[in-house]
Amino acid sequence: MAKSNKPAKKTTQPEKKAPAKKTNVKTEPKTKAAPKKTAASKVDDSKNNIKTAAPAKPQFDTGRIVKHIAVAGNIGAGKTTLTQLLAKHFGWETHFEDVENNPYLYDFYQDMPRWAFNLQIYFLNSRFKQILDIQKGSKTIIQDRTIYEDAQIFAPNLHAMGLMSTRDFQNYTEIFNSITSLISPPDLLIYLRGSIPALVNQIQKRGREYEDNLRLDYLRRLNEYYEAWISKYKHGKLLIIDIDQINFAENQEDLGQVIQRVQTELYGLF
């Protein structure tokens, strides 16, 4: 009787362990199912993030600070007109070339050799002060004519024509080099390119008395200097507008095209 009781105890022990093993097996799939749900939720979250992030991205670089736009071009190209039109559209402040109050301009057109150096120094100093004001201020300024034109076009042309002595030209160039080491170039340079007939037509329309003595060969030489300068301009962004093809002063569609190109250059496509 004692021998038959011992096997009975052995058989009951495995029966209790077996269910325990089954319950362990059943709980494992439950723990594996939970990560699948969290993985799915992570995918959904990432999609949501993409959808909400897209509108937040600016369509152009709104963080870029634009402080200085400059308009360059030969006499009669329409710099003042374009400066006024762009300033009105974008809400910019204008800095114009000091023509009416220039104490040397009328004398220069009467006697160029005598007043060439004086005139160029006046313009150089005037534009230098304008640029300093632009750099110190917080507003966006559009400037009629650049400081580079004085040194790269008008002064060399006067020297080449024998209207400015070599001594004066060298002195002027050294002053210009010292000044430009203290200033930054414009954020955008707009160059108005025009043929001699187009320039003459514009000059005749505005009827400035001191421009009556302008010679065609003088305008041609300036145009050659302008084209040589603009072909090597590397200081910053450059936009070239052909006034023979685009009449922004009288045609609203042409003006709209110019405005769109300026917008693209400054802020990119949108």
150 is catalytic: no
Q: Which one is predicted more confidently, 35 or 175?
A: 175
Average per-residue pLDDT for the chain: 80
SS3 content of the chain, % helix, strand, coil (to 5): 65, 10, 25
How far is Cα 220 from Cα 196, in angstroms, rounded to an integer?
7
pLDDT digits (tens, 9 = 90+) for 57-78: 333 444 568 999 999 999 989 9
What pLDDT band is residue 99 in, cutting at 50, 70 and 90?
Answer: confident
Would you state the pLDDT for residue 105? Answer: 87
**Catalytic option among 98, 107, 144, 187:** 144
Please, which pLDDT band fits residue 101 given cuts at 50, 70 and 90?
confident
Roughly how many angstroms between the first and final C-alpha of the chain, as a whole number? 99
Strands 141-144, 237-242: pairing is unpaired
What is the pLDDT confidence band of residue 230, given thresholds at 50, 70 and 90?
Answer: very high
pTM above 0.75, yes or no: no
Contact at 8 Å (CB) between 71 and 78? no
**Residue 13 pLDDT exceeds 70:** no
Percent of the chain with pLDDT over 90: 60
Which pLDDT band holds residue 216 (cuts at 50, 70, 90)?
confident
> Is the pLDDT assigned to residue 25 strictly greater than 70?
no
Q: DSSP E strands: which ranges in the chain? A: 68-73, 93-95, 141-144, 188-193, 237-242
Grouping H, G, I as helix, E, B as strand and the rest as coil, residue 238 is strand
40 confidence band (pLDDT: 50, 70, 90): very low
